[in-house]
Structure 1
Amino acid sequence: MKSFNRVKLVLIVFILFFLILIYRLIDIQLISTESFSKLKVNLLQESVRQRTEEVVISDGRGSFIDRNGESLSIKEKPAVIAFPFIKDQPDLIRQASEILHIDENRLNDLLSDAKKPVVLEEKITDQSIKDINNLKAVGIYGVYMEEKINERLAMHALGVTNEDPGLLRAKYPDKKDLSIRTEVGTSGLERTFDEFLLPETETKLLYHVDGKGNPLFGMDVKYSAEANAFYPLKIQTTLNKKLQESLEAVLRDYQLTKGGAVLVDIENSSIAAMASKPDVNMSDQMTMQNLMLSPVYPGSVFKTVIAAAAIENGLDQPSKTYDCNLNLYGEQGDDKGRLSFEESFAESCNYTFTQLAEEMTTRNQDAIEDMAEKLTLTQNVGWEGTLYHQENFRQLYNEPKSMIWKDENDKRIKKAIDQTAIGQKDVKITPLQAANMMATIARGGEKEQIRLVEKINYKNNTTMYTFKEQKMPGKQLDRYTVQKMQKLLRQVVTSENGTGRRFQDLPYQVAGKSGTAETGLKNDQGKKLYHKWFAGYFPADQPKYALVVVHMDTTSEQAATNPVYYDYVKKVYEIENGQK
């Protein structure tokens, strides 16, 4: 009896297992053919893929162009695609070798050893493509292949893509036709505009094969592409390719390893060039961070805020002088003598600005923060608005908040006020915010959001959407304060002892403010590390560009900030005047 029960139990288990197996097969073959597993795999597509040899000419993903329409993310290259089965057609091999100027035996060898279509790129010309296609032969084609530029310009700004099936299905649960191999944007503009960049379809040459890799009888090579004049889309950035190339070259020449620079077009309130260091390394997540959008200590660049607030509060008395032999706490430490308000700004006297900050906050605890708002330092500065169904769409991915005061109680503590006045303590702003502050002063106090993308264009270059210039909310600088600040920023360069005097002989007149922020860190030799800044605009008399350069975590001796700023302003002048 026990033996019978055991047999019965085994039989039940076997039947259950068999039923589960049958259900699984039914699920795979009939039910979940287009959406299998939690990753929603399209089994039909993957099955066809296994029986198909193909050459992808374009992955169908949208691309980026600069403000003048030049490509930033892809390049087209002429190529000839030869499928292995033409090795049995000697006449075709002979004709192709003559057109392509390739030895007939070499072409035969390439095809004999190939298990996949052979892509020929060496010495392929437009005429080669035309002549190959005039043969009208099955198995060899001239094409223009799109190739992603891996080490492309403005990597941090444009961002990167990766295969991430989980993120793909989470973001686009309704797009079941997307292969799990579809790349999605994971940083920069690739991420913020991912929905517009997703491929509609690939462009490819393909043919079906049998188990040995030979073409199935009666199956020709097919050109697979959607005849669509509108897709893929092109994201027209505000970047200027020549200015971007030049910026990256200057940073590379001076070996600025951490930090970067951002150039803002003042008139259009847009980013003309932006580069962050270190360079993107796909195997190191830390290098993905765009430091031009990262809040850091601004040092004396923040004195621009204190100076503007002092002017607005009537504390810029020309007859008053300050003992700049004292440090920020009023102790002996510096040796600059007695300086007026204007001289203190040009020579960056700490004591003057701590005294002004103390007096202002005694009258109004929010005086510094109120002026920081007028100078765009308390808000995100990137373009933000409604884009079709997306409310609060932001062009700049993950733009963080800045900080002036971490603790409201610090507004009543003398040392905290003093440290805040010189851009230390808890003050952190982004280089892009600093550039927008300079642009705001340069354009007369008008606050505007900064764009990195100007338009979304269809494939045929007609416009799908335009990102219009937008004002930033809140109070603005008054005209008197603006004029005084423009004068102060210019004197930083023109004064005999000004911290920006190195820029006096540039072809553009520069106005701006230097900054040195302590980081609390030291290098291996025990030397202090600083963030070294220069933030300004040019030409001073007719402002066109605001430029910020910051070298982070560097010693004073190794700082490349001023050399980069100097050389890049010269490069901009040369480009603007057609010299390069």
Structure 2
Amino acid sequence: MKLRKRMIWISILITSALFLLLVRLAEIQLFFTESFSKWNVNLIQESVKQRTEEVQISDGRGAFLDRNGKPLTISQKPAIVLFPFLKKQPWPIKDAADILNMSEMEINHKLERAKKPIILTKNEKGSISNMMLEKINKLKYPGIYGVYIEKTKKSRLASHTIGMTNQDPQLLRNKYPHKKELSISTKIGTFGLERTFDEFLLPEQDTKLLYHVDGLGNPLFGMDVKYTADANPFYPLQIKTTLNKEMQKSLEQILDDHHLKKGGAVLLDIEKSSVLGIASKPNLNMASQKTRQNYMLTPMYPGSVFKTVIATAAIETGLDHPSKTFNCNLNLYGKPGEDKGKLNLEEGFAQSCNYTFTSLAHQLMKKDDSIIEDTSRKLGLTEQVGWEGSLFHQDDFKQLYHEGTGAIWGDEHDKKVKKAIAQTAIGQKNVKLTPLEIANMMATIARGGEKKQVKVADQIEYKNGTLMASFKDQDLSGDTIDRYTAQRLQKLLRKVVTSRKGTGRRFRDLPFDVSGKSGTAETGKLTKDKKRLYHKWFAGYFPADKPKYALVVVDMDTPEGKAATNAIFYDIVKIVYKIEKNKT
């Protein structure tokens, strides 16, 4: 009796399992063939892929161009594609070998080992040429083709700012629930401009050569190889950035030459308020999340560069009289510790006298305890400065991904603490600004007080080069400094370089006259042998008399005396001059 009951239960379980299996098979083969699982996988497409050999010529994703229309993220290489089925029938191998400067034996050897299509971009004597492509295609034989293969550059310029793509099915479905036609293997922008402009860059259709095979890898429908491509002349779209490819490449090379480990540089076009070059260190490594940090958009201690703000407030409140001097034998707290003598504001700014600016800060705070942050706001230092506005259905589109925002005070109580005010005056305590904000401050001063948003993308273009959308110049909101204040600051910044004891005197022999301000900020970090680490800055613009470029360089977490900041700034100015001279 027990055995019979047990057999009944076993039968029920087996029947239930078979029923569930049938339901699952019905789901897969009948009901959800085009939207299976939470990823909405198209099972029909995936099944066809398993029986298809293909060579992708382009993934169909939009690309980034520099301001002159040169590609930044993709490259096109001439290539010869050989399909494996050629080894199973006679074909004009001798003609192909002559064209490619290869032996028949070498080609046969490659085909014998091939299980997938072979892509030749080089032969023994070098790269495949455009002429070779033309001659191969004139053979008009199925199975061998000359094509231009579009490759996404793994090592790309401005990588932290332009960003990268990756396969992220969850993000893809969350962002584009209505785009059911997108495969879960579609790459999506995960950070940088690739992410902010992702909606415009998504592929409509890729371009490839393909043929169907049986289980043994033989052509299923003869030797026909199909060419699939989107004939639409408008897509994929292209993002025309404001970057200058030559300047960007040179800037990155200079950072490498000086072995900058952490920090970077940002170069702006002052007139257009746009980024010409931008680079962050350490180099981007997709395997490490830490290397994705774009330090040019990250708030950090600015050190004495912040004295520009105190000088601005002093000028606006009439505390800049040339006869007024400060005892620069005292340190920031008013105690003996320096040996620079008595200096007025102009000399104190050039030599970066701490006591000058802590004294001014105390006087300013007695008049108005909001004056330091208000002045910072006038210079664009407490808000995101990257371009933002309306773009089609997006009312708050921002070009720059994860751009940080500067801050001045950490605690309102600090405004009543003398030491906190002193530290704030020299860009320490809780003062943190992004290099981009500081570069834009220099550009604002150079423009005579005109405060603008910074662009890194200029327009969105259709595939055929016609305009889809452009990003107009936009002012930053809020008050700004007047022309008189800007002119006084220009004089102070120039003195930093021309003064015999100025902290920027190294730049006097450059082909462009430079104006700027140095900065050294304590980080609170130590080396293994207990040496203090600093952020070393130089921020400025050039040519001084007719400003065209604003440049900021920062070497982060560097020991005293080992910073590469000045050498990098010097070399970037020189290379910009050389590039500009070669254009004329």
TM-score, with structure 2 as normaliser: 0.98
Amino acid at match of 2:166: N
Question: Where does residue 61 of structure 2 map in the other structure?
Answer: 61
Amino acid at match of 1:506: L
Q: Which range moves more in the overlay, 435-444 or 225-234?
A: 225-234
CA distance in structure 1 between the partners assigned to 2:484 and 2:436 by the alignment: 25
Classify the secondary structure of the residue corresponding to 2:222: coil
- What's the offset of the Cα at 1:8? 2.8
Deviations 1:162-199 (A, max 9, x none): 11122122222222221221111111111111111111
Question: Where does residue 446 of structure 1 map in the other structure?
Answer: 450
Question: Where does residue 470 of structure 1 map in the other structure?
Answer: 474
Deviations 1:497-529 (A, max 9, x none): 111111111111111100000001111222111
Q: Does 1:32 align with 2:36?
A: no
- What's the offset of the Cα at 1:318? 1.3
CA distance in structure 2 between the partners assigned to 1:486 and 1:401 by the alignment: 25
CA distance in structure 2 between the partners assigned to 1:103 and 1:3 by the alignment: 76
Deviations 1:332-388 (A, max 9, x none): 111111111111111111111011111111110110011000000011000001111
Classify the secondary structure of the residue corresponding to 1:426: coil
Q: Does 1:545 align with 2:549?
A: yes
CA distance in structure 1 between the partners assigned to 2:435 and 2:404 by the alignment: 12
Question: Where does residue 49 of structure 1 map in the other structure?
Answer: 49
Asked if the contact 1:266–1:546 (Cα under 8 Å) also holds between the matched residues in 2, the reply is: yes
CA distance in structure 2 between the partners assigned to 1:409 and 1:158 by the alignment: 40
CA distance in structure 2 between the partners assigned to 1:44 and 1:467 by the alignment: 42
Classify the secondary structure of the residue corresponding to 1:60: coil
Question: Where does residue 438 of structure 2 map in the other structure?
Answer: 434
Amino acid at match of 2:423: Q
Q: Does 1:534 align with 2:538?
A: yes
CA RMSD of aligned residues (A): 1.2
Question: Where does residue 181 of structure 1 map in the other structure?
Answer: 185
Question: Where does residue 458 of structure 1 map in the other structure?
Answer: 462
Question: Where does residue 7 of structure 2 map in the other structure?
Answer: 7
CA distance in structure 1 between the partners assigned to 2:389 and 2:417 by the alignment: 39
- What's the offset of the Cα at 1:124? 1.6
Asked if the contact 1:86–1:93 (Cα under 8 Å) also holds between the matched residues in 2, the reply is: no
Deviations 1:193-218 (A, max 9, x none): 11111111110000000001111143
Q: Does 1:197 align with 2:239?
A: no
Match of 2:381 among 360, 377, 381: 377
CA distance in structure 1 between the partners assigned to 2:408 and 2:525 by the alignment: 21
Classify the secondary structure of the residue corresponding to 2:524: strand
Percent of aligned pairs with the same residue?
62
Question: Where does residue 331 of structure 2 map in the other structure?
Answer: 327
CA distance in structure 2 between the partners assigned to 1:189 and 1:28 by the alignment: 38
CA distance in structure 2 between the partners assigned to 1:522 and 1:411 by the alignment: 28
Task: Map residues 140-289 of structure 1 onto 2, 5 A cutoff.
Answer: 140-218=144-222, 220-289=224-293
CA distance in structure 2 between the partners assigned to 1:426 and 1:196 by the alignment: 39
CA distance in structure 1 between the partners assigned to 2:168 and 2:583 by the alignment: 45
CA distance in structure 1 between the partners assigned to 2:31 and 2:529 by the alignment: 67
CA distance in structure 1 between the partners assigned to 2:180 and 2:3 by the alignment: 52
Deviations 1:220-242 (A, max 9, x none): 11001111111111111000011
CA distance in structure 2 between the partners assigned to 1:304 and 1:550 by the alignment: 17
Classify the secondary structure of the residue corresponding to 1:235: strand
- What's the offset of the Cα at 1:5? 3.3
Classify the secondary structure of the residue corresponding to 1:578: helix
Question: Where does residue 23 of structure 2 map in the other structure?
Answer: 23
Task: Map residues 404-415 of structure 1 onto 2, 5 A cutoff.
Answer: 404-415=408-419
Match of 1:497 among 501, 510, 521: 501
Asked if the contact 1:435–1:536 (Cα under 8 Å) also holds between the matched residues in 2, the reply is: yes
Q: Which range moves more in the overlay, 71-80 or 175-184?
A: 175-184
Aligned residues: 580
Asked if the contact 1:62–1:235 (Cα under 8 Å) also holds between the matched residues in 2, the reply is: yes
Structure 2 unpaired stretches of 5+? none
- What's the offset of the Cα at 1:330? 0.5
- What's the offset of the Cα at 1:464? 0.8
Q: Does 1:108 align with 2:108?
A: yes
Deviations 1:63-119 (A, max 9, x none): 111000001111101011111111234342222112212111111111111111111
CA distance in structure 2 between the partners assigned to 1:317 and 1:541 by the alignment: 24
Question: Where does residue 94 of structure 1 map in the other structure?
Answer: 94
TM-score, with structure 1 as normaliser: 0.98
- What's the offset of the Cα at 1:275? 0.7
CA distance in structure 2 between the partners assigned to 1:92 and 1:491 by the alignment: 75
CA distance in structure 1 between the partners assigned to 2:536 and 2:42 by the alignment: 53
- What's the offset of the Cα at 1:320? 1.1
CA distance in structure 2 between the partners assigned to 1:363 and 1:31 by the alignment: 75
- What's the offset of the Cα at 1:15? 2.2
- What's the offset of the Cα at 1:9? 2.5
Q: Does 1:555 align with 2:559?
A: yes
- What's the offset of the Cα at 1:219? 5.8
Asked if the contact 2:142–2:223 (Cα under 8 Å) also holds between the matched residues in 1, the reply is: no
CA distance in structure 2 between the partners assigned to 1:344 and 1:101 by the alignment: 70
- What's the offset of the Cα at 1:2? 4.0
Change (3 A) 1:2 1:90: closer
Asked if the contact 2:334–2:355 (Cα under 8 Å) also holds between the matched residues in 1, the reply is: yes
Classify the secondary structure of the residue corresponding to 2:17: helix
Amino acid at match of 1:354: T
Task: Map residues 61-80 of structure 1 onto 2, 5 A cutoff.
Answer: 61-80=61-80
Classify the secondary structure of the residue corresponding to 1:424: coil
Q: Does 1:386 align with 2:386?
A: no
Classify the secondary structure of the residue corresponding to 1:314: coil
Match of 2:342 among 338, 342, 345: 338
Amino acid at match of 2:342: R
CA distance in structure 2 between the partners assigned to 1:31 and 1:548 by the alignment: 60
Question: Where does residue 484 of structure 2 map in the other structure?
Answer: 480
CA distance in structure 2 between the partners assigned to 1:6 and 1:498 by the alignment: 96
Amino acid at match of 1:118: I
Asked if the contact 1:42–1:176 (Cα under 8 Å) also holds between the matched residues in 2, the reply is: no
Amino acid at match of 2:43: L
Question: Where does residue 322 of structure 2 map in the other structure?
Answer: 318
Change (3 A) 1:43 1:306: same
Classify the secondary structure of the residue corresponding to 1:33: coil
Classify the secondary structure of the residue corresponding to 1:465: strand
Classify the secondary structure of the residue corresponding to 2:443: helix
Question: Where does residue 128 of structure 1 map in the other structure?
Answer: 132
Asked if the contact 2:329–2:341 (Cα under 8 Å) also holds between the matched residues in 1, the reply is: yes
Deviations 1:256-292 (A, max 9, x none): 1110100000000000000111111122111111100
CA distance in structure 2 between the partners assigned to 1:32 and 1:521 by the alignment: 58
- What's the offset of the Cα at 1:127? 1.4
CA distance in structure 2 between the partners assigned to 1:355 and 1:91 by the alignment: 87
Amino acid at match of 1:364: D
CA distance in structure 1 between the partners assigned to 2:349 and 2:383 by the alignment: 25
- What's the offset of the Cα at 1:579? 7.5
Amino acid at match of 1:452: V
CA distance in structure 2 between the partners assigned to 1:112 and 1:251 by the alignment: 47
CA distance in structure 1 between the partners assigned to 2:260 and 2:151 by the alignment: 30
Q: Does 1:117 align with 2:125?
A: no
Classify the secondary structure of the residue corresponding to 2:134: helix
- What's the offset of the Cα at 1:6? 3.0
Q: Which range moves more in the overlay, 205-214 or 79-88?
A: 79-88
Classify the secondary structure of the residue corresponding to 1:260: strand
